[in-house]
Amino acid sequence: MTDTPFSPLTPARIDWQAHTPVASDYDDPYFSRQDGAAESSYVFLQGNRLTERFASLADGDLFVIGETGFGTGLNCLLAAACFLQQAGDGARLHLVSVEKHPLCAEDLRRALAHWPQLAALSDALLAQYPAPAPGFHRLQLHPRVSLTLLYGEAEALWPLFDSPVDAWFLDGFAPACNPDMWQPALFAQLARLSRPGTTLATFTAAGFVRRGLIEAGFTMQKRDGFGHKRHMLVGHWQQSQAPARQSRRQQAIVVGAGLAGATTARALAERGWQVTVLDPAGIASGASGNLAGVVYSTPSAHLTAQNRFYQNSYSQALRWFAQHGFPRHPDEGRLNGVIQHAVDTRQWDKLSQAMASGVWPASLLRPAGDQAVELVGGGYIRPARWCEYLLDHPHIRLRQERITALQEGQPASVTLENGDSLSASAVVLCIAAASLQLPGLHWLPLKQIRGQVSYCRATEASAGWQQARCHGGYLTPALDGLHCVGATFDLHQLEQTPHDEDDRRNLAQLQEYLPTLWQELGGDAIQVADRRAAMRCQSIDFLPLCGPLPVASEHPHRAAAGLYLNLAHGSRGITGTPLCAELLADLISGLPLPVDKPLLDALDPARFIVRKRKKQPRWTP
């Protein structure tokens, strides 16, 4: 086991023997050479009685499967297919699986090609398959089937996951080939996450595995194994059967129709909530309303919570775009990579260290010429079109109303400017620094940063540009014949009237860092056709506030019933909001979360409440 749960990964090395992938480092096949699907179905689906258990699920029921070795994903895909065949339309399945050595995408594609009956689920997996970056990765295999992949050591990552599990697939390479995994510490985690009636199945019948699981609290028994294997093990946690868990699907109010609000509303709607979105100015009227925005991140070799959020949210944003098929055409943008130009030696050293560390694999970050890297899969989109797409859902309705107050409770409520009130089981505030104007929220640790972007008319030379570029600012390919050149960064102005001087600053920065492109855009004759100024909202520790609204006046603090925040995405709103939306929607719905405990704590708005600790707190409400 490593000293930290988050370390660079070593991808799987595969020796293909006929049609069977064999792990070179463990000398063990990923599935039976006789019939991999039949073995997985017998051991894991039948061993956990999934067919009958899925068939008994009622509307709104949640079933969670935990797996200790993802491998080719065969077990999970078979379970998902069985669920979709047996369970009612209102039930949900959540799969959670750990993988220390992820297969490369091509090996995974080759392995899954053997089972065309799983093609729809396999295609969804392949389209969203994460790069080998450590941590939690959330995928959507079907509207009712989610998968959270935990990349790293099983023993290190399971303690960072908290949702109860209903059935375990204790899988991995054979104990003789991979003894480090089959340890009491892992068995203890399986027990911690089990509840009355949780079942377990594994292909092995090794005595020390059976004894270890019994010592952890499972009741175990042998049964006939598959094919040439004499025995396997099945077990359960306690004799009684806990009632099925229900996911919440009620009424929600989302305040704000920008990137944070649109992603939050869509995530809730896809979980069955009826969502009312309130915004007096309509869709994407604030900082989300620029002509183009860049999907990018800030690579680092250091796996702090902040840097892990930047990486995890970047990957999650790319999966959302893949899942939704957005941009749908070039007029909405392109996800063809972002070129990051280092502006000085210090930044280049940071980018070089990120590439060399293994934390940012080449499938996410690669060299792109002199003092530059490419963020693979990133790009540029029209934020307003993205928001419009997300809000176009039968469970979402938009009302152009302003709120003047919040009231906690079950249900929680908002007061509208006209004096009326609306109530819902959950109210999510997504209005950036405008939150400070609401009663009781003046303490939120938010700062506003004015930014102005210049819209420059395309030239014959610039019209052929294909990729967005970041330097001291950013530059996008043309949309509607205009390039976005930006953006200023001003902490000392709060008014949003555009200034000619800010256009000059944007163009001077472009000339300094990308002189060739500045010249292609027209040089001293560049035409600024329009401009737009808006306020970014950022927290004092540069991470969003995502989670329950804490009651700042109480010590120890408590969460305000029914009230939640999704604020302070700064200049990374396109990139950061999908992961925060997933987190909030799962938290509100009572579903397994897409992030680990340390990252959950790092995003929790309550982190700014005074705590008893040796160091001076960063923020005192």
The mean pLDDT of 229-242, rounded to a whole number, is 90
Q: Does domain 446-539 have CATH number 3.30.9.10?
A: yes
- The whole-number pLDDT of residue 5 equals 86
Residue 615 has pLDDT above 70, yes or no: no
Q: pLDDT tens-digit profile of 462-475?
A: 999 999 999 999 99
Q: Residue 610: which pLDDT band, with cuts at 50, 70 and 90?
A: low
Residue 620 has pLDDT above 50, yes or no: no
Residue 307 has pLDDT above 80, yes or no: yes
Residue 175 has pLDDT above 90, yes or no: no
Helix spans in 284-382 (H): 305-324, 345-357
d(CA 386, CA 33): 46
d(CA 389, CA 381): 12
Residue 397 has pLDDT above 70, yes or no: yes
The mean pLDDT of 501-515, rounded to a whole number, is 96
d(CA 212, CA 218): 9
Domain boundaries, the chain: 14-246, 248-291+383-443+550-621, 295-336+343-381, 446-539
In angstroms, the Cα distances linking 40 to 44, 46, 120, 124, 282 are 6, 9, 19, 20, 50
Give yes or no for a contact between 402 and 422, defined as CB atoms under 8 angstroms apart: no
- The whole-number pLDDT of residue 494 equals 78
Q: Residue 26: which pLDDT band, with cuts at 50, 70 and 90?
A: confident
d(CA 248, CA 24): 45
d(CA 459, CA 500): 21
Q: Residue 31: which pLDDT band, with cuts at 50, 70 and 90?
A: confident
Residue 320 has pLDDT above 60, yes or no: yes
The domains spanning 248-291+383-443+550-621 and 446-539 adopt the same CATH topology: no
- The whole-number pLDDT of residue 29 equals 83
Residue 1 has pLDDT above 80, yes or no: no
CATH superfamily of the 248-291+383-443+550-621 domain: FAD/NAD(P)-binding domain (3.50.50.60)
Task: Show Cβ contacts of residue 373 under 8 Å, excluding neighbours closer than 6 positions.
Answer: 299, 339, 340, 342, 351, 355, 365, 366, 367
Residue 612 has pLDDT above 70, yes or no: no
Q: pLDDT tens-digit profile of 241-298?
A: 888 888 899 999 999 999 999 999 999 999 999 999 999 999 999 888 899 999 999 9
Could you give phi then psi for residue 104, rounded to 5 degrees?
-70, 160
Residue 616 has pLDDT above 70, yes or no: no
- The whole-number pLDDT of residue 621 equals 33
Residue 76 has pLDDT above 90, yes or no: yes
- The counts of H helices and E strands in the chain are 16, 32
- The whole-number pLDDT of residue 613 equals 38
Q: Does domain 14-246 have CATH number 3.40.50.150?
A: yes
Among 15-24, 294-303, 512-521, 539-548, the minimum mean pLDDT is found in: 15-24
d(CA 415, CA 402): 9
Residue 2 has pLDDT above 60, yes or no: no
Residue 617 has pLDDT above 50, yes or no: no
Question: In which element (H, E) is residue 585 found?
Answer: helix 573-589
